[in-house]
Structure 1
């Protein structure tokens, strides 16, 4: 993926994440959060908290990918420096690891 395309995709993902984070944080300019009854508030709050944390982590990964792009390291695995496959970057432009390194990391968890 060329740098201009990668930057455009990363900026698009970042903008969408910023909108999602604003909604999950209850920004009244983005979404009216009135309406749920008392019993559903806790469930909705827990769900929103989990979604917010996931969105914040995803945003962090996108910002880090943009830094790698600026530093000329985009598309290289952060663990072994192998080229991250084009298809992986198409699916997840913020991907920081090649498939073997990502698999090893997930098995260690």
Structure 2
């Protein structure tokens, strides 16, 4: 993927993520009296929203890091082994910072 295409895709992803994060951080709806069951449901919704916000924030950080690597001229190189990240991986995940093998090793360590 050429740099201009990568930059455009990453900036589009960043805009989408920032809009999603803003929605997830939105002001709570007006407080009203609720039953105990409703309060439990709200906790579940709050937990789900927090999880989605965490995922969106991590992905936003990955996109920002990819844009920085693009500016520095290191975009498309694996952070661990230094080899080129396959074109297909960058097509599927423009924010990818590792080749498939190094990413798999990293995930197994977790």
Q: Verify same fold: TM over 0.5.
A: yes
TM-score by length of 2: 0.89
Question: Could you list the runs of 4 or more consecutive aligned residues of structure 1 that deviate by over 6 angstroms after TM superposition?
Answer: none
TM-score by length of 1: 0.89
What is the Cα deviation at residue 52 of structure 1? 0.3
* Length, aligned pairs only: 105
* Number of the residue aligned with 2:55: 54
| 1:12 and 2:26 matched | no
Unaligned runs of 5+ in 2: none
* Number of the residue aligned with 2:78: 77
* Number of the residue aligned with 1:103: 104
What is the alpha-carbon distance in structure 2 between the residues aligned to residue 107 and residue 67 of structure 1? 27
What is the Cα deviation at residue 11 of structure 1? 0.3
Cα RMSD (Å) of the superposition? 1.8
